[in-house]
Structure 1
Amino acid sequence: MLAVHFDQPGGAENLYLKEVAKPCPKEGEVLLKVAASALNRADLLQRQGQYDPPPGTSSILGLEASGHVVELGPGCQGHWKIGDSAMALLPGGGQAQYVTVPEELLMPIPEGLTLPQAAAIPEAWLTAFQLLHLLGHVQAGEFVLIHAGSSGVGTAAIQLTQIAGAIPLVTAGSEHKLQMAEKLGAAAGFNYKEEDFSEATLRFTKGAGVDLILDCIGGSYWEKNVNCLALDGRWILYGLIGGGDVSGPLLSKLLFKRGNLIASLLRSRNKKYKQTLVKTFTEQILPHFSKNSPQRLLPVLDRVYPVTDIQAAHKYMEANRNVGKIVLELPQ
Structure 2
Amino acid sequence: MRYIELREHGDPEVMQVAEGDRPEPAADEVLIRVEAAGVNRPDIVQRQGFYPPPPGASPILGLEVAGEISAVGASVQRWKVGDRVCALTNGGGYAEYAVAPAAQCLPVPQGLSMVEAAALPETFFTVWSNLVHRAHLKAGEVLLVHGGSSGIGTTAIQIARSLGARVFVTAGSEEKCRACVALGAERAINYRSEDFVAVVREATDGHGADVIFDMVGGQYVDRNIQLAARDGRIINIAFLAGAKVEVNMLPVMLKRLVLTGSTLRPQPPEEKARIARDLEAQMWPEIAAGKVAPLIAATFALEAVAEAHRLMESSEHIGKIVLTVAH
Show the counterpart of 1:59: 59
Q: Which residue of 1 aligns with 2:219?
A: 220
Instruction: Specify the code of the residue in structure 2 equivalent to 1:302.
Output: A
Q: Distance in 1 between matches of 2:161 and 2:134?
A: 17
Give 1:103's aligned amino acid: A
Match status 1:257 vs 2:252: no
Deviation at 1:196, TM superposition (A): 1.7
1:253, distance to aligned residue in structure 2 (A): 2.6
Q: Report the equivalent of 1:36.
A: 36
Cα offsets for 1:35-76 (capped at 9, x unmatched):
000100000000000111111100111110000000112122
Q: Which residue of 2 aligns with 1:125?
A: 124
Provide the residue aligned with 2:99 in structure 1: 100
Name the SS of the counterpart of 1:53 in structure 2: coil
CA distance in 2, matches of 1:125, 1:28: 22
CA distance in 2, matches of 1:255, 1:142: 21
Q: Secondary structure at the match of 2:123?
A: helix
Q: Please name the residue that 1:172 is paired with.
A: 171
Between the aligned partners of 1:256 and 1:17, the Cα distance in structure 2 is 54
- Residue 252 of structure 1, CA deviation: 2.0
User: Which is worse superposed, 215-224 or 58-67?
Assistant: 215-224
Quote the Cα distance in structure 1 between the aligned partners of 2:242 and 2:174.
24
SS at match of 2:42: helix
- Matches of 1:117 and 1:53 in 2, distance apart? 25
In the TM superposition, what is the alpha-carbon distance from 1:278 to its structure 2 partner? 0.5
Counterpart mapping for 1:121-160 below 5 A: 121-160=120-159
What is the rounded CA distance, in whole Å, between the counterparts of 1:329 and 1:127 in structure 2?
22
For residues 109-161 of structure 1, the C-alpha deviation after alignment (integer angstroms, 9 at most, x for no partner) is 11110000000000001111111110111111110001100111111110111
Q: For residue 317 of structure 1, what is the amino acid of its counterpart?
A: M
Question: Structure 2 matches for 1:279-318, cutoff 5 A?
Answer: 279-290=277-288, 293=289, 296-318=291-313
Cα distance between partner residues in 1 of 2:307 and 2:92: 20
What is the deviation of 1:287? 1.1
Could you tell me whether the CA contact under 8 Å between 2:6 and 2:60 is conserved in 1? no
- The 2-side partners of 1:247 and 1:165 are apart by 34
Equivalent residue, structure 2, for 1:204: 203
Q: Does 1:15 align with 2:10?
A: no
The residue type equivalent to 1:94 in the other structure is: G
Aligned to 2:314: 319
Give the letter aligned to residue 258 of structure 1.
R
Alpha-carbon offset, residue 104 of structure 1:
1.0
Instruction: Compute the RMSD of aligned alpha carbons.
Output: 1.0
Which letter maps to 1:29? E
Match of 2:324 in 1: 329
Give the CA deviation at 1:248: 3.8
Secondary structure (helix, strand or coil) at the match of 1:219 reads coil
Paired amino acid for 1:96: A
Q: Tell me the residue number matched to 2:235.
A: 236
Identity percentage over the alignment? Answer: 38
User: Which residues of structure 2 form unaligned runs of 5+?
Assistant: none
Aligned residues: 327
Query: What is residue 49 of structure 2 aligned with on the other side?
Result: 49
For residues 280-318 of structure 1, what are the alpha-carbon distances to aligned partners after superposition, in whole Å with 9 as ceiling and x for unaligned?
11111111111xx2x611000000110111111100111
User: Matched residue of 1:5: which SS?
Assistant: strand
Which of 273, 294, 306 is matched with 2:271 structurally? 273
Deviations 1:186-205 (A, max 9, x none): 00011111122112111111
For structure 1, the 5+ residue unaligned runs are: none
**Alignment match, 1:70:** 70
